[in-house]
Amino acid sequence: MISAHGLTKTIGQRTLWEELDVTVNSGEMMAVRGPSGSGKSTLLNCLGLLEPLTAGHVLIQGANTTSYNQRQQRIFRRDTLGYLFQNYALIENTSIHDNLTVAGGENRKLSRTEKHKVYEEALEHVGLTGRSRDLVYELSGGEQQRVALARLLVKKPVFILADEPTGALDDDNADMVISTLRYLAEKGASILIATHNDHVESRCDTSLVLESRALVP
């Protein structure tokens, strides 16, 4: 579960959002909506500890992540956080298999044989059975997003941030993204999805709408 209170982000003279409260229970998906520039990606980045909040605090599974030092942040990103991007964010010049090996999470403690089984199950789940030696840069966009989903299935993060994950995909691949995220929610994850897509929002449990805010004079 994520429970965040009083979130404020100011960049230069501009306050993107102020005194925001965000709660996503374990098992839930929340859509983050709002016009372009309203700060959806920035909110996700702040919750993922990729950039600092101006104010507010965040509890994830009861731990106050806002007070984490750099080492704790690294461990959080390695073990707790899963990220899904519009541009897939894979290591493009290597194989699908190699991209799964960097998934992190509890998985890294498994034996080689056990890992292989986990990878194959994840690839089967996203319709890429037997493709683990394929090179990422030779895959279509939809297939690359399936690899990114497989990486999440391998890692099983309890907190997932998805930034426009269906923005560049056709309907079938977009459905694959949402149904896989739903599967991960059913396994206990809390998920935030920044999206412009009404259909994606309709598949979420709750919505958070950010407003476009004018520049402070």
User: Which residues contribute to the site for ligand ATP (CB under 6 A)?
Assistant: 11, 16, 34, 36-42, 194
Closer of 38 and 65 to ligand ATP (Cβ) = 38
Left (φ > 0), alpha (ψ -120 to 50) or beta: where does 56 sit?
A: left
- Indicate the residue among 11 and 102 with the shorter CB distance to ligand ATP: 11
Q: Please name the residues in contact with 50: beta carbons below 8 A apart, sequence gap of 6 or more.
A: none
Give the Cα separation of 152 and 22 in Å (integer).
23
Q: Which C-beta is closer to ligand ATP: that of 37 or that of 188?
A: 37
Nearer to ligand ATP, 17 or 159 (CB): 17
Contacts of 34 (CB under 8 A, 6+ apart): 40, 209, 210, 211, 212
Cα-based distances in Å from 188 to 68, 78, 108, 126, 192? 23, 18, 20, 19, 13
d(CA 73, CA 87) in angstroms, rounded, equals 24
Q: Extract the runs of DSSP E, i.e. beta strands, from the chain.
A: 2-11, 14-24, 29-33, 55-60, 63-64, 81-85, 159-163, 190-194, 206-209
Q: Which is nearer to ligand ATP, 42 or 65 (CB)?
A: 42
Q: Considering the complex, what minimum distance in angstroms separates the CB of residue 129 from ligand ATP?
A: 34
**Shortest Å, Cβ 118 to ligand ATP:** 33
- CB-nearer residue toward ligand ATP: 108 or 213: 213
Q: Give me the least distance between CB of 103 and ligand ATP, in Å please.
A: 25
**CB of residue 124 to ligand ATP, shortest distance in Å:** 32
| Shortest CB 20 distance to ligand ATP, Å | 13
The greatest distance separating any two alpha carbons of the chain, rounded to the nearest whole angstrom, comes to 61
3 state DSSP class of 85:
strand
- State how far the Cα of 135 lies from the Cα of 192, in Å rounded to an integer: 29
The least distance separating ligand ATP from the CB of residue 34, rounded to whole angstroms, comes to 6
